[in-house]
Amino acid sequence: MHAVGELFNFTAHTFAPAVLVTPLGELSVLTGTALGTYFLKKRLNVVGFLAFCIFTAVYCLFMIYKVCPHYGNAKPLYYLSMGAETGAVSIMALKAFGIAVKLTIAGTNQFLHISNYMFGIFAAGSIIVQMKCFNKALSVYPQSIVSPVYYVTFTSAVLVASFILFQGFNVADNAKLIPLLDGFLVTFSGA
């Protein structure tokens, strides 16, 4: 299924500009995550999520006001790291929001808790910042540089955020953790 998705992604990049295709691709990741949580039963670490959000906000403010005005045109990583961090917040917020929707549909109204509204606000705000950072990077650097760097930074940030929010990689023992990490490294190495 993943190969079919990549084929469609390649086809879209062939016929449409990256400025259009890549944000839509990221939106499909977010949508898939939200829908995927409907079928999963996970425990959330709300305190860890809030700490990650605060770290991301402080990091982005530092980058926006201190680093990017002076060095933003020197390396794509400055803009893309902000996009990746806020993208990770959006993924985790949508996962948490999706779980709340799933539990509400199952009969336990989760929208009596203010945290679920916070997840929705975090998701919307972080998606906006993520798209602005990504588009800024695309306006300064070629797509051939932006896409691979963003892929690695975004995936790494999502894995860290997922580890924090869901308290680990959700594997039963270390024997299952090794292939998971190996697949992660093989994917990033391009093998």
| Tens digits of residue pLDDT in 147-190 | 888 888 887 887 777 777 766 666 666 676 777 677 667 766 65
At residue 82 the predicted structure's pLDDT band, cuts being 50, 70 and 90, is: very high
Distance between CA 53 and CA 65 in Å, rounded? 18
Domain assignments of the chain as residue spans, ordered by start: 43-189
- As a whole number, the mean pLDDT across the chain is 74
Q: Is 170 helix (H, G, I), strand (E, B) or coil?
A: coil
| Residue from 160, 108, 129, 18 nearest 99 by CA | 108
Q: Is 80 helix (H, G, I), strand (E, B) or coil?
A: helix
> What's the farthest any 2 CA atoms get from each other in the chain?
53
Distance between CA 39 and CA 32 in Å, rounded? 11
